[in-house]
Structure 1
Amino acid sequence: MTSKLTQRVNHCAFKLQDQKLIAKLSAGDLVAQEAKYHSACLVKLYNASNRKVEEEQNQSPDGQAHGIALVEVIGYIEDIRLADKTVAPIFKLSNLLQLYTDRLQELGVDISGRINSTRLKERLLAHVSGLHAYRQGRDILLTFEEDVGLALKDACLDDFDDEAICIAKAAQIIRRDMLKKHTSHFDGYFEKGCQEDAVPKSLVALLGMLMDEPNIKNKASDTVRQATLSLAQLLQYNSKPRTSQNCLAGSRH
C-alpha cells in the first residue's frame, strides 16, 4: 500500500513535472525504500507545488471569480470581528471553506474537485492582518492576536497614502477589464443573461460591494442586483481608452 507521504510527494512531482523526482518515485513506495526526508526539502516541495497551483488558477478564466470569493470571505471575517469588540471571534477553516466554495458556484465556477483548504488558509493569513491559525484536534481554527491585530488596523486607518494607492490600483484593474470587454450588438431581442454578459464580473462585483458591502452571507435583493447591473452597463458604455484626441471629449449618455 502506498503511504500518504508518497502520494503527496508524487502529486507534487507531477504537478511540477520534476522528472528526476518522478524517476525516483517510479521505483515504488518511498517508505518501503527507506528513503530519508528532510523537513526543509519537503516544505520547499509543497510550497513550490502550491505556487504552481495558484499560478494556474490565476491564469484560468475562473481566476477572477476565486479572487472575488476570497474578498467576500475576508469581508465576512472582518464584519464578525467588528460586530462585538469585547469577544474574540474564532472561525473554523472548514466553515470558511464551505462559504468560499458556495460563492464560487454562485459565480459560475465548475467545482470538479475539493478546494484546497490549506491554500485558502494561506491566502487568508496573507491578506488579513493579525490573523493566526491554530490546530485543535482535526480542526483548524483562525483567530486574531488582539494587540497586534488592533495595532495594524489602526496603522492602516491612519495611512491615507496607502488607501489612495489601493483605490487607484482597484480602478486600474476594473478599467482594464472594461476595455477588454467586447461591445455587444443588439439583434432585435434580448437573450437570457445578456445584461451579465455585457459587463465584466469585476465591475459588477465592485459595484455590488459598494451598494451592499463585501459580505459573503449578504445576498443582494433583485432590486439591488438590477441597479448594480444598470450602473455597470452605464459605466461600460461610457468607458473608452484615454488618448490625446479624446482627453476633452464628453461622456456618452
Structure 2
Amino acid sequence: MCSKLNDTLLLAKSSADDLIAQEAKYHSKYIVSLYNRSSRIEIKNYIVESKKERQIHGIAFSELVSYINETRSCDETISVYKLLDLCKLYTERITCLGADVSFRVNSSRLKDRIVSNFPDLDAYKQGRENILAFKDDIGPALKRVESKGTFSKECQEASVPQSLLSLVSMIQFGLNIQNRSYFQSTLTIAQLLMYSCTKKLSNCHMKDHEPPDCAYLGIMIHCTTRKT
C-alpha cells in the first residue's frame, strides 16, 4: 500500500526491522485515512486506464471504417466482408495499440456499429457466418457467379425425400406397385411441402429446404420485379 501511495516517509518507517522495538502504535483513524487514499488512487488509475482503452478502441474502429472505405473504392474488388475477418482485424489493431484484449470482442455490437456508419451496408446470414455487403455490389457479385442456366434432370426427385414423394403420389393417385416415376404435379407439391416445412416460426428458410422449383420461381420473380 505504501508503494501504491508513493509515500516514501511511510515506506521508510514500515520497512524497519522491528516496529515493536521502536514502540510503533496502531492508529485506527490513520489506517482508515490510508485506505481511503489508496481507494481514491485506484479509482483515479481505473478512470485513466478506461479512458485510454476507450480512445484506443475508437482509433481501431475508425481505422476499420477507413479500411472498408478504401476497399470499397477499389474497382477491381467487390466489397463483401466476413464479420469474422473484420473482428480479427479490429482485435489485432487493438493489440498493436496496447489495449487489453483478454476479453472477446462482441461481434454483434461491432456489426451494429459498422452498419450504423454505412447506411447502404446490409448484414446477411449465411449458415453460421455473418456477411456484410453494400447494396450496389450485390448485382455485380451475382453477375460473376457462373451458372449453366439449367437444372439437372433428377434434381427435383433428389431434393425431396423418397418417403414424401411416395406419400404425395399415394394421396393423388392411390397405390400403384408398378409406378416407377412421378408426375410433375407430385414433384411440385412435394417440393412445396418441403419448402414450407419448419419446426418453428422463422423469417428465412434453411438452405437444404430450398428445392429447385422454389429456387426457380424465386429467380423468375426477381428477374421480373428487380430494378434495372
| TM-score (normalizing by structure 1) | 0.33
| TM-score (normalizing by structure 2) | 0.37
Q: Which has the larger Rg?
A: 2
